[in-house]
Structure 1
């Protein structure tokens, strides 16, 4: 009987001797005590995670369709860096040189959007997710350089020859002779400008183009740039650090199609003008926050600093009542100030402003 009992014990894989049972009970008790100690901490962590999710959820709620449009139509350009050996003072730890971009890379980054449009995810009727595609067209551009820079004497200042579309800059020196006068005029006029307007001379205008054709007669942005660059090759070779802060480009965005299609498509017939700076500072200056360019790991982004809208339905785009309307008004107002400070007549902006029946 005894041998049989021992045999059964050996055959039972789950049999635990008394000593082992006591050890297991002690271990289990110890685990329970440790669990009780960490339970409050886990509850606190869980509460923090919940609050974090709620915070992120609430922040996503205030993201409007206009915010999404501005985010997805912001160009991101490949960043270029100065070689260390070419920078004076590098050995003296004077390494605050900013990355820059080449204008040709900017146009290249917009080439696919120019051909197929850029998809902007939107939310309609507070629940319907759609992707609206917009195609960009060149609306206007002005390039300014520092007249005291050596680059000014090595680049011939010319412009688009079509007098209906642009104002050509003279290459016979007469334009350069008037730079000082223009500087003085701008400095006098700057006394009456508002706080967010340019207060420094813009520089020497070496190229400008303002589109005047009707939207359905315009060439795609990439094609237009190629056409202009055939007459002014520097339109692709200039670096952002060669240009003054007065250099800018305006892009017109028109809706082309939406996925999925549906009856609410009529709510998305709004068109936009966006304004982007083309200048990056050469070096960091303490306390200077005037740059409108943002540098990221993926490249240099050109945020929208000015905006104009056409056929804009506020309830579909801002979803935040008075606050949303104020944002649009502020952007349009800053754009108008910018153009006025440069004494620039922008046909598209004038049309958008005179027909902005947004509601």
Structure 2
């Protein structure tokens, strides 16, 4: 029994528990230009379904099972906060204007929701590149549709689900976009802060550890494994197969990057597992990603220097 729990990785339990699993959505039928090129090669999900994965976690916290050094088990509850997000797409300003106009006309428009979404997707047709779906550097990023970076104190933040709904009032694409509508450089970072653990126990310093996870929110790079390498300049940190896993009608958006705060001792890092390598690789990936996109991520800088 002792050998079993000592070989367990609390870090891996955290990464697994905080991985959103989003239901696969049918491929859009409203855009005949790129449907024949990509259908069957990449998966698709609605961003609205992604945010819905955080609804309950934002309200009650996400429970992560932790095994202590003495073999006892506790469940640590974390609340997710939107630490940063960038969404790149094509013709972002026109797309924003189009969606806002539709929103204003919604009360008296006879158009169905599908017709509205059809018009929105038409605006971003030329985001996808030439007919053979090959990538080039000028198409890699697209235009920045939305950027949000949190600077406030953790105590003054609102949970991720509520923050997304707040941002969506000015950026409706945040809930209307599909994962194949946005550039492969689109990403988000989630800050996980602990709130309590059950059963309560004292003097367990590492139970106050905070985490930053980084996730891609586009599925377009599934057919182009070199895309993230171009952005991160570090091929070992761009294993797209590890970041998106399809299982039983859903896509698991595993973190491609990670940073920690107040991680001390050996509660989270088990030397008998690959934890040290995982930590190093994920941190390097986050660092390279931010560097290549020229992003000053406040939480990442704070976690790194404290």
- State the TM-score, normalizing by the size of structure 1: 0.63
Aligned positions of 1:267-286 closer than 5 A: 267-281=206-220, 284=223
Q: Is the 8 A contact 2:24 2:45 kept in 1?
A: yes
1:69 counterpart residue number: 14
Aligned positions of 1:24-103 closer than 5 A: 62-82=7-27, 96-103=40-47
Correspondence 1:113 to 2:57: yes
2:66 counterpart residue number: 122
Q: Is the 8 A contact 1:75 1:106 kept in 2?
A: yes
Q: Are residues 138 and 157 of structure 1, via their aligned partners in 2, closer, same or farther at CA, if it must alter by over 3 Å?
A: farther
Q: Are residues 267 and 286 of structure 1, via their aligned partners in 2, closer, same or farther at CA, if it must alter by over 3 Å?
A: closer
Aligned positions of 1:223-302 closer than 5 A: 223-281=162-220, 284=223, 290=240, 292-302=243-253
**Whole-Å separation in 2 of the counterparts to 1:213 and 1:93:** 43
1:139-163 CA-partner distances (Å, limit 9, x unpaired): 000001246xxx87444499xxxxx
Q: Is the 8 A contact 1:241 1:282 kept in 2?
A: no
Task: Give 2:295's match in structure 1, choosing from 323, 327, 344.
Answer: 344
- Bigger relative contact order (CA 8 A; separation at least 6): 2
- The higher radius of gyration belongs to 1
1:296-339 CA-partner distances (Å, limit 9, x unpaired): 11411110100000000240001217953343222112101000
Q: Is the 8 A contact 2:5 2:67 kept in 1?
A: no
Q: Are residues 298 and 131 of structure 1, via their aligned partners in 2, closer, same or farther at CA, if it must alter by over 3 Å?
A: farther
**Whole-Å separation in 2 of the counterparts to 1:269 and 1:336:** 23
**Whole-Å separation in 2 of the counterparts to 1:216 and 1:255:** 12
1:34-58 CA-partner distances (Å, limit 9, x unpaired): xxxxxxxxxxxxxxxxxxxx9xx98
Could you say what secondary structure the match of 2:83 adopts? strand
Aligned positions of 1:155-166 closer than 5 A: 155-156=96-97
Task: Give 1:335's match in structure 2, choosing from 286, 293, 303.
Answer: 286
Could you say what secondary structure the match of 2:169 adopts? helix
Q: Are residues 62 and 256 of structure 1, via their aligned partners in 2, closer, same or farther at CA, if it must alter by over 3 Å?
A: same
Task: Give 1:309's match in structure 2, choosing from 247, 260, 273.
Answer: 260
Q: Are residues 221 and 89 of structure 1, via their aligned partners in 2, closer, same or farther at CA, if it must alter by over 3 Å?
A: closer
2:88 counterpart residue number: 144
Runs of at least 5 residues in structure 2 that lack an aligned partner in the other structure? 100-135, 228-238
Could you say what secondary structure the match of 1:294 adopts? strand
Correspondence 1:324 to 2:275: yes
Runs of at least 5 residues in structure 1 that lack an aligned partner in the other structure? 1-53, 159-185, 188-198
- State the TM-score, normalizing by the size of structure 2: 0.74
Number of equivalent positions: 258
2:78 counterpart residue number: 134
Could you say what secondary structure the match of 1:251 adopts? strand
CA RMSD in angstroms comes to: 3.5
Q: Are residues 326 and 93 of structure 1, via their aligned partners in 2, closer, same or farther at CA, if it must alter by over 3 Å?
A: closer
Q: Are residues 123 and 327 of structure 1, via their aligned partners in 2, closer, same or farther at CA, if it must alter by over 3 Å?
A: same
Q: Is the 8 A contact 1:100 1:240 kept in 2?
A: yes
- Structure with bigger helix share is 1
CA apart distance, 1:282: 7.9
Q: Is the 8 A contact 1:314 1:324 kept in 2?
A: no
Q: Is the 8 A contact 2:7 2:273 kept in 1?
A: no
